[in-house]
Chains A and B, each alone.
Chain A
Amino acid sequence: MEAMKGLTYRKINEDIASIGHRVGKAWLVVFGLDLLVLTFGICCWFYQLFKGLGVTGYTRPAMWAVYITNFVFWVGIAHSGTLISAILFLFRAGWRQAIYRVSEAMTVFAVMTAGLFPLIHLGRIWFFYWLIPYPNQRQIWVNFRSPLVWDVFAVSTYFTVSAIFFVVGMIPDIAAMRDRETGLRKKLYSLLALGWRGTSRNWKHYAQTYIYFAAFATPLVLSVHSVVSWDFAMAQNPGWHSTIFAPYFVAGAIFSGMALVVTLIVPIRKAFKLEQYITDWHFDAMAKLILFTGNIVTYSYLVEFFMAWYSGNPYERQAFWDRAFGPMGWAFWVMAACNCIIPQLLWKRRNRTHIPTLFVITLFVNVGMWYERFVIIVQSLNANFSPWIWRGGYKPTFVEWGITAGSFAWFFMYFLLFVRFLPTFSITELKEILPRPFRRSRKEKAA
């Protein structure tokens, strides 16, 4: 908070609204490279469309693999955005104001990325609408008892609500940017600000509805990753059929999402010289949350192994033995090192507030959480009830890696455009942190 002392309302407007003008050539270079990777990903996807899913490494029994891993990974990434913007809003956590816009944007773009993967995984994407309940000449309906249909409802609701929350939150800030701009930008912002003037009437209904958006988003964020976890837990496959999955997935989602928030905020803070806004206090708070959720995840890993042993079920025991010591055991150890061991460095305050150290730790967490989903999906499928199909021969092909890289480029394309054209930090909420502009102190008023 100390670092925010030199700020004024006017300076906040100047600093935040000018970010789009300060991006320079570096932004263009990064954006160009990003589009190149995205183009490669799209080419890989077209190749898969023409040739069929045979170009992937799918081998029985691993018929869910990297695409579903990516889906769960990106849905997880989306979660901390809503946690910061909605849950911490309801709990009035003061450190959220400086970082919530970035994390909200991350949420929306991550859900947009996650939503691609079930469609890519379908293979015949032109039949995707079969997932939607609509009256049809075959006179059949979707199966509402299936977690896959729950997923359609959960993810589409999550995207819609997150997008509304994100856009509504930006309206006063876009109005502030409109008032500073000229020409085409002014026209664009005037349109997006919907005529916001910060009147009593505007604020009265805005403040009330914003609380309700937060109140809706809070249970939603917990439900969506629970529903995603039930895609697995509802099946009787060893390694999947567990009641711990919902809380375990939610904690993992916040863990990975918070790590990506730090990964994204560190370069933005450096590039736009926003050290006054995002201080050691913010990084310390985020690092504590990473440590806390990381330990929940570690505990969940241990409980899974314990329950496999304690159940006396030979299939469960075999699945978890294979998970750590089977042919793909290396993936488990990458996951354990990144998610369980490396985050322990955050017990030390110096590591929580030393930005390069924290940045590197979050990169490891990002990698570790991708591997967590890979381990849960591929390794569990590889150790199911039928030993005759235990081949463990699944290897991702260049098509899967290309589409995965393309998904990161897709996410970063939106994020780069967001930094370039929209208020990256909340102008109005940053002002709420500053002391109110009172002429007289409380004592003077009382006198």
Chain B
Amino acid sequence: MKRETGALGVFEYLDDAIDAVRNLKKQGFSVQAMTPTYFHELEHEVDHTRSSTRWVTLFGALLGCASGFALCVWTSLDWPIITGGKEIVSWPPFVVIGFECTILIGSIFNLTALLLWSGLPKFVEQEGYDRRFSEDRIGLWVATAPDRARQAADLMRAAGAEEARVAGA
């Protein structure tokens, strides 16, 4: 498989990484950060758009709600027998099933959206990934042609990267 080329920066400090992202973006580079925990300040700099998974989750929840009620109503009409003196289509007890299905299907759709949108599972190696990024360092990966990668590495070094290099070339 052809390796992706680009520049990798390793940062100890969050503000240095944020400065580097700003400078890189000014120069028209596209940046991917790799962090040991969720740093909203950095993530906001890299990509400030909201995740669209919420629409999938909402759709799943509505579908679950509708299917929960539909299951109760349809099965009750399919085998109409009065129990406990209640109407054949008794809405109050069906609320429980409708509610549980809302949560169940909504959660399953939420999980599916998470996996699809964030590209998981992904068992091929991420270019530039270093085990330090799950420990105490912040990584910035700039995917670009080898000639521009050097410029990106210089920008990261200037912002305070403890290590910046061209990778995958």
B169 at the A/B interface (Cβ < 8 Å)?
Answer: no
User: Could you tell me the distance between the alpha carbons of A329 and B73 in the complex, rounded to whole angstroms?
Assistant: 45
Residues from chain A with Cβ under 8 Å of B86 in the complex = 145
User: Could you tell me the distance between the alpha carbons of A197 and B118 in the complex, rounded to whole angstroms?
Assistant: 10
Most buried by B among A146, A149, A197, A445: A197
Contact B13 A145 (CB under 8 A): no
The residue on B at minimum CB distance from A11 is B136
CB interface residues, A 159-191, toward B, < 8 Å: 160-161, 164, 168, 171-172, 175-176, 178-180, 190
Interface of B is mostly: helix
Contact B104 A157 (CB under 8 A): yes
Residues from chain A with Cβ under 8 Å of B50 in the complex = 208
CB interface residues, B 52-81, toward A, < 8 Å: 53-54, 57, 61, 71-72, 75-76, 78-79
* Nearest CB of A to B3, in Å: 16
Contact B72 A144 (CB under 8 A): yes
Contact B135 A161 (CB under 8 A): no
Cβ 8 A contact of A160, one of B53, B96, B107, B119: B107
- B contact residues, total (Cβ < 8 Å): 70
B51 at the A/B interface (Cβ < 8 Å)?
Answer: yes
Given contacts A179-B135, A436-B14, A437-B13, whether A209 and B113 have CB atoms under 8 Å apart is yes
Contact B136 A9 (CB under 8 A): yes
Interface of A is mostly: helix
Contact B97 A150 (CB under 8 A): yes
Question: Residues 1-20 of chain A: 1 if any B CB is under 8 Å from the residue's CB, otherwise 0?
Answer: 00000001110010000000
A25 at the A/B interface (Cβ < 8 Å)?
Answer: no
- A contact residues, total (Cβ < 8 Å): 64
Contact B36 A195 (CB under 8 A): no
Residues from chain B with Cβ under 8 Å of A8 in the complex = 136
B15 at the A/B interface (Cβ < 8 Å)?
Answer: yes
* Nearest CB of B to A409, in Å: 30
Chain B residues with CB under 8 Å of chain A are: 12-16, 31-43, 46-47, 50-51, 53-54, 57, 61, 71-72, 75-76, 78-79, 83-84, 86, 90, 93-94, 96-97, 99-101, 103-104, 106-108, 110-111, 113-115, 117-124, 126, 129, 131, 133-136, 138, 160
**What would 17 A/B residue contacts be, using CB atoms closer than 8 Å?**
A142-B75, A145-B86, A150-B93, A176-B135, A178-B134, A180-B131, A196-B120, A199-B33, A204-B47, A204-B118, A205-B117, A212-B106, A220-B100, A227-B96, A432-B38, A437-B138, A439-B160
The 9 closest A-B pairs by CB, nearest first: A195-B122, A9-B136, A179-B131, A141-B75, A439-B13, A194-B121, A208-B51, A431-B37, A176-B134
